[in-house]
Chains A and B, each alone.
Chain A
Amino acid sequence: MAKHPSSGKYAIIGLGVVAGPQPDHSERMVATEAARRAIEDAGLTRKDIDGAIDLRRSGGAGDRANYTDAYSRVLGLHNGFYFTVGRGGALAGLGIATALSFLDRGVASYVCLMGAVTDWSQAQESRKHGHRGMVHAEKAGYWGKPLGDLRAVSHHSWMAARHMAVYGTTSRQLGAISVAQRAWACMNPEAKMYGRPITIEDHQKSPLVAEPYHLLDISLVSDGGIAFILTTADRAKDRPKPPVYVLGQGFDEVSSELWWEKKNFTHMAVQRAKKQAFGQAGLGLADVDCAQLYDCFTGEVLFQLEDYGWCEKGEGGAFVESAAIGPGGSIPVNTGGGLLSCYHLGDLTGMAEAIRQLRGEAGERQINDCNVVLTTGHGGELLSPGMCSIHTCTLLGRHP
């Protein structure tokens, strides 16, 4: 397949990660520190950065940063533009797509993209008032609130429930995803669940939150910040760290077809995104060495394994039970532990892990000869019924 002219022409040259609970730091400072680390990692100074993008979980959940200050100002960047991009957990993919247009036209040479959250710290506060989970992040006025639809799990669990009812998938099969990702997290010292392996019995015994989802089907609530520096391939060559090339990107929306076909509870909007991204890269699914699939809940991982074609629709349960996605499996998935077991910074979690795998910095969990990584993002508006979301697909590579 012929590559698109843009494939491999842009690269990530710096990564900055602030991980783990940050009770002593404001979101503003977590954001700024992540950006500082990314610039340092790229071997640049703040004077080199001429564009800044703030990755925020806007869209259905509203603008969820709890501060009103640009990290670019706090850090003292010499940037020519700063604005926010993002939709729910689809942040990094949309940020890259946006930054490329500035690099392509020569408006900027080095763009810093940063996303930060302090959900864990805020959840500790709201717990004192009797509210569980991410009350600070839920948009007021969504249809189901008076009826008990209070959190993402209230409607996301329908996705697992519907898939189970249509295809016979079991809770144990969903649990196999949790167990596999926890095994990866136990090889990642940065993961929240590092050193805490689980078995399928642990998954089955964990409390039922919104049945069929157990606690161990649900992603973490986290603090942290992740930033990365994007530039052109020619500028990426002489940096201290190996460049990670953007090979292809694609996008699709649930609202285009799945919503109207009532298939949004068994499918994600993958097809158009996959075709675009793999088409630009001139690659096929067999070329992917590991996948960082958006995993707000176990069901989303199952859907994407089917929708991308690692197995047939409806056969995801048997596929994950065959140990295909864990360490040593045929398609390693969420190799840093993912949102389920590492930390939840939207699709930045998978983006950071993809960069490390492609640089060969993943330590004990390093995939041998890792050349191509698929990362996905997911997020959207809370309508009734459920969520109407975007799917983003970004292919990253070790070689242009």
Chain B
Amino acid sequence: MSDANVIVRTEPWNKPLPNIDQDNAPFWEGLKQHKFLVWRCRTCGACYWPKAYCRNHDNAPFLENMGWEEASGRGKLFAFNRHHTAFHPGFKNDIPYTYALIELDEGPLVSSTLVGDKQPKDVYDVGQKVEVIYEDHPAEGFTLPRFRIID
């Protein structure tokens, strides 16, 4: 992944913190290493996000047949909204922002903000290819995934 896909932010974080728990900690650790992980079944290859028991067949105890694996970090814009209201004071300088549903090339839907100059022109303008951008917050100890349109 090139440096163009990394943004480093040093200003103090004044927004809600990520919810990092026992189940998703490897995913958040992957983001810090600039890798976008999905939860993959080694029996049939199906991908999940967030973590789940593979739905296609029975599973080994505590999912020993599945694991986090690096994904392409690419997908398509599935749907989006544009926030014009800052519900939390930390977002006052961010509005309007585009909050998008991304259909990853591996299958699952994920959500994040769409950053960059290329923005969809209206709500009907979906299906564009997107890729992940890693927004590092070194002082806070986490990396957030954002997405941008690449075609």
Contacts and interface: CB of A to CB of B under 8 A. Distances in A.
A378 to B, nearest CB: 19
Contacts of B126: 165
Given A132-B86, A212-B123, A162 B55 contact: no
B42 interface: no
A210 B82 contact: yes
A165 B113 contact: no
A161 B80 contact: yes
Nearest to B79: A162
Nearest to B94: A148
A141 B101 contact: no
Q: Which of B16, B21, B80 has the most CB of A within 10 A?
A: B16
Interface string B135-147: 0000000001010
A207 interface: yes
Contact of A132 (B55, B87, B111): B87
A149 B99 contact: yes
Interface of B: 15-19, 21, 49-50, 55, 78-89, 91, 94, 96-97, 99, 101, 103, 109-113, 123-124, 126, 144, 146
A311 to B, nearest CB: 21
Contact of A148 (B21, B79, B83, B124): B83
Contacts, number: 118
29 contacts: A130-B89, A133-B87, A135-B88, A143-B50, A145-B15, A145-B19, A147-B99, A147-B112, A147-B113, A147-B144, A148-B97, A148-B99, A154-B87, A158-B79, A158-B80, A161-B80, A162-B78, A209-B85, A210-B81, A210-B99, A211-B83, A211-B96, A213-B81, A384-B110, A384-B111, A385-B101, A385-B110, A385-B111, A386-B109
Interface in A111-164: 129-133, 135, 140-151, 154-155, 157-158, 161-162, 164
